[in-house]
Amino acid sequence: MIFDLLLVAALLWSAVQALTTPDLFRAVVLFIIFGLLMALAWARLDAPDIALAEAAIGAGLTGALLLDAVAHLHKKRREQSP
């Protein structure tokens, strides 16, 4: 019971932080953390198939693509600034 409450609090905290932070890199990292916590929540709800999909697609693949996009944005900004 206590673990579940801590998990809900961590999910809410990471979601709010990811949506309100102005730094793109930090937002993506918080999104990945949220995805991993969500996978843990699905596992706690006895839905291992959804938990595995959330971890692989939600946190893993999407997180990697977003990190790559942020890296490309920073590279473009460096090239454009004199």
Contact 19, 58 (CB under 8 A): no
- Per-residue pLDDT of 43-68, as tens digits, reads 999 999 999 999 999 889 999 999 99
Enumerate the H helices of the chain as residue ranges. 2-20, 24-44, 48-53, 62-80
Per domain, the residue ranges of the chain are: 2-80
- Per-residue pLDDT of 62-72, as tens digits, reads 999 999 999 99
- Give me the percent of the chain exceeding a pLDDT of 70: 99
φ/ψ of 39, rounded to 5, equals -60, -40
Contact 15, 34 (CB under 8 A): yes
Q: Can you give the pTM of this predicted structure?
A: 0.89
- Read off the amino acid at residue 79: E
From CA 34, how far away is CA 19, in angstroms rounded?
A: 11
